[in-house]
Amino acid sequence: QVQLVESGGGVVQPGKSLRLSCAASGFTFSRYGMHWVRQAPGKGLEWVAVISDDGLNKYYDDSVNGRFTISRDNSKNTLFLQMDSLRAGDTAVYFCAKDPYGSGFYIDSWGQGTLVTVSS
């Protein structure tokens, strides 16, 4: 069955960087688009970014565009999110999620999430 395990969350100061990873298993990783979705404490879901199956196409929400970079290593079945210039408003649980197609459409599997706290 599909497994998505996020790691790399923690407490970081404003302006600093953090890199999240998501280890995927149970499916052919290189065939599917992958997303990052976040959820601030007590708030709703917010889509962050998507990367196509081949890694060539990447799209971002306006709130993170230019600060966050999504990438993937299909040889290691791993998805990444490089987060730079972090702000307090980026504090959230970050979910790694799988698309049922090669690029963004909807999400058919979710990881458990990793908490990122941006605070001085």
Partner 1 sequence: SVLTQPPSVSGAPGQRVTITCTGSSSSHGASPDVHWYQQLPGAPPKLLIYVNTNRPSGVPDRFSGSKSGTSASLTISDLRADDEADYYCQSHDSSLNMIFGGGTKLTVL
Strand partners, 18: 83
Backbone phi, then psi, for 31, in 5-degree steps? Answer: -100, -5
Q: Does 50 bind partner 1 (CB under 8 A)?
A: yes
Of positions 9, 46, 63, 115, contacts partner 1 by CB under 8 A: 46
27 near partner 1 (CB under 8 A): no
| Binding test (CB under 8 A) with partner 1, winner from 18, 29, 113, 116 | 113
Please answer whether residues 120 and 49 qualify as being in contact, where contact means their C-beta atoms are separated by less than 8 angstroms. no
Interface pick for partner 1 out of 3, 11, 108, 119 (rule CB under 8 A): 108
User: 85 in the Ramachandran plot: left (φ > 0), alpha (ψ -120 to 50) or beta?
Assistant: left
> What does the binding site for partner 1 look like in residue numbers (CB under 8 A)?
35, 37, 44-47, 50, 59-61, 95, 100, 104-113
